[in-house]
Amino acid sequence: MGMDALKPFHVAVVTGGASGIGLAACRRLAAMGLSVVIADRPGPGLEAAAETVAGDSPRGADAVQAVATDVASRVSLAALVDAVAARFGRIDAVMANAAVQPGSAVLGDGDNWTRILEVNLHGVIDTVRAFLPGLVASGGPGLVVITGSKQGITTPPGDPAYNVAKAGVKAFAEAVQHDLRNRPGCAVTAHLLIPGFVWTPLTANGRTEKPAAAWTPEQTIDFMLERLKAGDFYILCPDNDVTRALDEKRILWAAGDIVENRPPLSRWHPDHAAAFDVFLKL
């Protein structure tokens, strides 16, 4: 399972690779025999991740590179590209995954808004733009996976800055894949990973035990590899509580707010809550 989707690839770079979904991706790719570059903030977490991933690789530490990286800095991303090229001589796959979630409100802390947009939106855009020219110029197969969120599609209340960033990520990923498929002879593809509820340091919110509803990062990566093999662009992940059918209903209702001229976020509006419940049963 999954390996067939990555047969042409030898070197993968994962931003935000020291924890959560990113670390699960690094471990799975290393176990498959790929050389893996873990890009994340400097510190003990990055060092520990490098040791863990090396233990998963049949080639050990020779197949793993840890690069301290700030995705909010184009200078740092350019240094990452150079470091990977110097170590492995090629880059085949990039997972633009780094994200933060300090919380936000419409009139909340402006620094939180700035940090979320710098990392979760501009950091994703700049990561892809840093690596994509080399992937395209190689002339061979290439893979770009961009980690989005259902919050960027149905934009639930509670964390507007995160929603804004992830909505932008969705639009950017769509634009990247459209660009790639219209390049004659280009074998590079882009894909949007849309996780469900995943138990990671980003989603723990002080909890110490995984909620029953949540998937593990490993389940998310297994699902991602299955859907990459199938050729999906939108890799819409379920979890232990939300099925694809329920996701589809929620997404269609959100789009219907525009078509039906309902209030925004009508799913949470008292005047439309009953209609939404009926819609779910159709």
Q: What is the DSSP letter of 242?
A: -
Answer yes or no: are the C-beta atoms of 64 and 38 closer than 8 Å.
yes
Query: Cα(35)–Cα(93) distance, rounded to whole angstroms?
Result: 10
Query: Cα(219)–Cα(193) distance, rounded to whole angstroms?
Result: 13
Answer yes or no: are the C-beta atoms of 39 and 13 closer than 8 Å.
yes
Task: Specify whether 162 is catalytic.
Answer: yes
Query: Cα(68)–Cα(65) distance, rounded to whole angstroms?
Result: 10
Sequential DSSP letters for 142-185: EEEEEE--GGGTT--TT-HHHHHHHHHHHHHHHHHHHHHHTSTT
Query: Cα(35)–Cα(37) distance, rounded to whole angstroms?
Result: 7
The contacts of residue 44 (CB under 8 Å, 6+ apart) are: none
Query: Cα(112)–Cα(97) distance, rounded to whole angstroms?
Result: 19
Catalytic residue (choose from 9, 113, 162, 223): 162
Q: Is 206 left (phi over 0), alpha (psi -120 to 50) or beta?
A: left
Q: How many CA atoms lie within 13 A of 167 on its CB side?
A: 13
Answer yes or no: are the C-beta atoms of 174 and 146 closer than 8 Å.
no
Which active-site residues does the annotation give? 162
